[in-house]
Copies of this chain bind each other. A is one copy, B any other.
């Protein structure tokens, strides 16, 4: 695959550590912030065209291709910015974003995938998960809400769930936005300093920050366990927001190009309908 900003790809067998990956790196992209912004704007048209073809080819059908973009990351890693600047650049009619918050009592009463399954993308659609089923092997591990055996069971359930989606025609893109401890501190501080950012802050964010190393370990374990052939992970360095955006855009574009959706052929007689239409135009 040609050189392009894609973060660090995590394939099966990876034995690295998330904490060992540079959150300020810009793998696959030779330019800086300004070139990054230009690159993002320039690539919008390509993603746009691919998305419209995907929609045209499969939307409304019982079966067909789709994309699922899973976005994970610590607080302030830039998930909102990805939703706004990358996902937001795509025609909203073809996108289905689900933000998974803390589960409700009803959701808690079911298996952890119960609330996830209904949000798998329909044919022709780009589904986006802002947080996801991975929370159940991340925060649950950090806080000990599930023991090692249960976490292992969940890894297996996730692999199986994702395999089902892939077999049904979905291309899954799993992204961990990788922010550094230092950068998170700066971003939280900005939220505290600006009254127009206070609503984004909650004291629990600092509680979670105090579990930083445990979260990094939980990410490492989850990525090792769930990076599969059918659904690898991508650790996207996120200390530079502009880089994270072009990398996620590139991964989304790769997924659409892998599907290579084509304009569907007309299921009506074009000449006949044209003649029919022209008669109504003469009459008008």
CA of A265 to CA of B182, assembled, Å: 27
The copy count of this chain in the complex is 2
Docked-complex contact A185 and B277, CB < 8 angstroms: yes
CA of A82 to CA of B187, assembled, Å: 35
Chain B nearest CB, measured from A136 CB (Å):
21
Q: Is the interface of A mostly helix, strand, loop or mixed?
A: helix
Docked-complex contact A280 and B185, CB < 8 angstroms: yes
Chain B's closest residue to A101 (CB) is B60
CA of A138 to CA of B210, assembled, Å: 59
CA of A182 to CA of B283, assembled, Å: 10
Docked-complex contact B93 and A92, CB < 8 angstroms: no
Which of B80, B264, B274 interacts with A189 by CB under 8 Å?
A: B274
- Contacts A181-B284, A273-B192 hold; do A198 and B263 have CB atoms under 8 A apart? yes
Is there a chain B Cβ closer than 8 Å to A87's Cβ? Answer: yes
Q: How many residues of chain A get a CB closer than 8 Å to chain B's CBs?
A: 47
**A253-284 interface code vs B (CB 8 A; 1 in, 0 out):** 00000000001111010100110111011001
Among A54-101, those with CB < 8 Å from B are: 56-57, 80, 83-84, 87-88, 90-93, 95, 97, 99
- List the 9 shortest-distance A-B pairs measured between CB atoms, nearest first: A198-B266, A56-B199, A185-B281, A84-B91, A192-B274, A88-B92, A196-B263, A181-B284, A83-B93
Given contacts A84-B91, A206-B276, 14 further A-B contacts (CB under 8 A): A80-B93, A83-B93, A88-B88, A88-B91, A185-B280, A185-B281, A195-B266, A198-B265, A198-B270, A199-B266, A201-B273, A209-B277, A209-B280, A210-B280
